[in-house]
Structure 1
Amino acid sequence: MIGLLFIGLLAGIIAGVSPCILPILPVVLVGWSAPVLDVEHPLRARRRRAVAVVLGLVLSFGVITALGSVLLSSLGLPQNFLRDLGIALLILFGIGLLIPNVAHQLERPFARLARAAPTGNRSGFIFGLGLGLVFVPCAGPVLSAVSTLGARHHASLFSVLLSFFFVVGAAIPLLVIALAGDRLIEHNRTLSRAARRYRPAAGALLIVMALAISFNSVSALQRWLPTYTQSLQHLIERNAYATSQLHSLEYANANDGSLSACVAAASQATVSGLHTCGIAPEFTGITNWLNTPNDRPLALATLRGHVVLVDFWTYSCINCQRTLPHVEAWYAKYHRFGFDVIGVEAPEFAFEHVVSNIAGAAKSLGVTYPIAVDDNLATWTAYQNNYWPAEYLVGPNGVIRHVAFGEGDYARSESYIRSLLLSVHPSLALPAPSDLPNLTPTEVTNPETYLGTDRSQYMVGSLASVGDQTYVTPSSVPLDYYALGGTWHSASEDITAVRNARLTLAYQAKHIYLVLGGHGTVRVLANGAYVKTFTVTGFPTLYTLLNQTVDATGVVTLKVSAGVSAYDFTFG
């Protein structure tokens, strides 16, 4: 696996030059521009300081990414403890830039540990330690794999080494930027004087950025920035060799095979009853939390003694939407008896990474339980999941007791919840089970039909790879297939109407849904007869095209105004 270490180094370098590093760049530059005491060789002193910052960053990020979850769980500390500690260190460092006497006081505890090191180097190392605790580069497969192993408490010497290779790679571009900036300041007296004059302002900026990290504002800005390194990241981290090696690393000893066995059985729908499926992995790579006090993170370790349902979903998924009322009903009915639900929002489309979209959809869907936004599918990977929706029922001792994929079978899931609650408190007087109707389709329908270039296998004809293309609607469309007419702009996940745009689908279903975004109108015709016209606006979400009383076959035609984007057909 030596080649994987090299891939980890390259992945780190790519992360270090990616746009998502820009929001924390001011934090890095402020730390490296702090005053140095060597007035005879200030440039040399700043270089030593930069190296000290890198060493602190590499040590704390490398260890915490690979082993943080294990350390915190063994000490009984919340999973966000180290992040909060890092934020506190950055704030103290900022205060030190504002008030130099504070900086000297902060360095005193470290003086005995590093008497041979110059003072600036000690403070730089301390700053690097704090920065490493809050450092969140763009997480690709390499970083996700290391985080996943840590969350499962299956870190190995190799995964720790891979973590260090990644962060060294990420630190190299930052170090180059800092050294180049130092040289520029050293050889320009105007800039040098300005750097000294505005040092207190730099301290204030550091405090503001630390608070922004605390309130997850940096994560929001990272998602807003363009992803110009994504194709390079895919080339390095998602090639066949890297994928194979990372898969071998992740699942080499996952839960001694018990979680893997439960997942495999659930995939084949051959599992029933309560089983021992290994300790539930801790939440990892979660970028935002919703429906928690002040949107603060939760940890499974703090929910020991409770029965917890970890429910993987994404808001535009119709199967998930049919499941949500049941999950919400269980939460409302049993929460006061020690039952918790964590909805892990695992995005499928790009628009599902936007937290405001998730929050708006959750509100409209009536979701009140805590939601963890798994932007990079790190928790998804830790649970070896492949489906929306997916349910992992965790017992009071933190062990996964049941795994279920897809919708339906709600009565059995509720019976398991009740059984686990009674195992903790046998004398509980639980309310009667829920009686919500099961709306899971039982008839044969079209398969889920994606419209973007990545998965357009059900299109009649060929879809343009990228860009605008004018299509002619064929005279007939086979069942389960669709055809385009007019001019459409195609992209990897969606197609967008440009001019005289039409979409024709041959269906077998009772209900037809389509994920739409943008702004405009859609006119719906079924078998040539007008059905309705509706407006598309706001965040991309699921729209109902046909809502029939019985299962039927036919042809639905959509006349789509310019600016409306279509993603994915689902059926019921």
Structure 2
Amino acid sequence: MKKEYKYASIFFAIIAVGVMSISYFYDEVDLKRNTTNDITTLDKTFLRTSPELKGISGYINTSSEELDQDIEGKVVLYDFWTYSCINCIRTLPHLTAWDEKYSEEGLVIVGIHTPEFEFEKEYDNVVFATEKFGIKYPVIQDNDKETWNEFQNRYWPRKYIADHEGYIRFDHIGEGAYAETEKVIQLLLEERSVALGNTLEKKELVNLDEYKHATFRTPELYFGFNFAEGRNQLGNQEGFSKNQIVTYQLPEKMKQHYFYMEGMWKNNNDGMKLISESGKIVLNFNAKQVNIVASESATLFIEYDGKEIPEEVRGKDVSPEGTVKISEPRLYNLIDSQLEGPHEIIIQVQSPGFEIFTFTFG
């Protein structure tokens, strides 16, 4: 009888996973059905219109009234981003270039800042980031993911483009496809121009370098127990302990793509906070670029393959002495190499209160 219960439980678990997978698949199919492979389509019967921008907690470079007026009758690119996301950051030069190039021809870019971490909800932090990245187009704060949910979005970054009648004609997940996206912008601006009885001068596409990722790289690693569910790559046998202070010890052997801690660390929802006077983080990775998202004032000492970081692979936030000054909550670039490969990085911290949220790679 016990075996029967066991097999029944396994059977129903398989069914549940299958139902969830099918549901997820059809959600994505339904979302894609709202755009069209034939961007020149005249039949918009099955296209959805842009959802309402809901639950906005802050406006940057605009106001609620100004934004409503600005997007009326315009081609609108909605960009879901968050300022510590490296994939989002890499897309921003293209967005700012498109804004400068096409804003007077009827394009409005709306940056929908939907935070991943708590510190990204702070208005001043987002203002600082928009200024740092040279963003002059409107940015709205979607701290409670209300607009994110209205768009049925699940990804950072993601770009939706609506025509001048408000129909979503194109969307793209992640980095890349810049030429394709700009061609859509040009086509929809041309449609708008024709509808207004005007003509537009044909322009060359923006020519910016696109980041070339490593072909095989370590996946993003999360330090928060909530974020790590289903993707736990904390290698210490002590593991995560929800909202508790844990004393971690480094094991003799360490696996690639897993991070290891030393010292006393508080396990928080979205990251880890150093409690002891010092701590250490060790990671064996495969990538060209290594970044961390961190906060609180601290000085980090970085070792690369057991030595100081060579100048040719030193990230932009690393000093010639191999240190990183953590001064505000954001993404910090530690390693930036032209070549990918397996390496070890050791981060030594002498600053209690230091918080780390994630490793990201390129």
TM-score, length of structure 2 as denominator length:
0.81
Residue 516 (1) aligns with residue 306 (2) = no
1:455 aligned residue: 227
1:564 aligned residue: 354
What per-residue deviation string (whole Å, max 9, x for no partner) do you get for residues 76-104 of structure 1?
A: xxxxxxxxxxxxxxxxxxxxxxxxxxxxx
Counterpart code for 1:483: Y
**What pairs with 1:320-399 in structure 2 (closer than 5 Å)?**
320-399=88-167
Residues 309 and 342, structure 1, Cα contact 8 Å, conserved in 2: yes
Task: Flag the 1:316–1:557 CA change in 2: closer, same or farther, 3 A.
Answer: same
1:138 aligned residue: none
Deviation at 1:263, TM superposition (A): 2.5
Counterpart code for 1:494: G
Counterpart code for 1:495: M
1:285 aligned residue: 55
Pick the structure with greater CA Rg: 1
Q: Distance in 2 between matches of 1:296 and 1:345?
A: 15
What per-residue deviation string (whole Å, max 9, x for no partner) do you get for residues 408-449 of structure 1?
A: 110000000001111122520143210001115251211111
Task: Flag the 1:450–1:306 CA change in 2: closer, same or farther, 3 A.
Answer: same
Q: Distance in 2 between matches of 1:367 and 1:529?
A: 38
Counterpart code for 2:166: G
2:333 aligned residue: 544
Q: Which has the higher helix share?
A: 1
Which stretch of the first structure deviates more once superposed, 298-307 or 273-282? 298-307
SS at match of 2:279: strand
2:256 aligned residue: 479
Q: Distance in 1 between matches of 2:281 and 2:33?
A: 39
Q: Which has the higher strand share?
A: 2
2:216 aligned residue: 444
Counterpart code for 2:50: A
TM-score, length of structure 1 as denominator length:
0.52
Deviation at 1:400, TM superposition (A): 0.5
Residue 307 (1) aligns with residue 75 (2) = yes
SS at match of 2:226: helix
Deviation at 1:265, TM superposition (A): 6.5
Residues 82 and 114, structure 2, Cα contact 8 Å, conserved in 1: yes
Counterpart code for 1:501: G
**Unpaired segments of 5 or more residues in structure 2?**
1-22, 310-321
Paired-residue identity, %: 30
Counterpart code for 1:282: E
What per-residue deviation string (whole Å, max 9, x for no partner) do you get for residues 380-425 of structure 1?
A: 0000000000111000111110111111110000000001111122
Q: Distance in 2 between matches of 1:510 and 1:556?
A: 12
Task: Give RMSD over aligned pairs.
Answer: 2.2
Aligned residue-pair number: 310
**Unpaired segments of 5 or more residues in structure 1?**
1-250, 252-256
SS at match of 2:203: coil
Deviation at 1:488, TM superposition (A): 1.4
2:316 aligned residue: none
Deviation at 1:362, TM superposition (A): 1.2
Counterpart code for 2:110: I
Counterpart code for 2:292: L
Deviation at 1:464, TM superposition (A): 2.7
Counterpart code for 2:207: D
Which stretch of the first structure deviates more once superposed, 465-474 or 503-512? 465-474
What per-residue deviation string (whole Å, max 9, x for no partner) do you get for residues 451-475 of structure 1?
A: 0121340011212322322111112
Q: Distance in 2 between matches of 1:478 and 1:379?
A: 40
Task: Flag the 1:261–1:290 CA change in 2: closer, same or farther, 3 A.
Answer: same
The answer to which structure, 1 or 2, has the higher relative contact order (CA under 8 A, 6+ apart) is 2
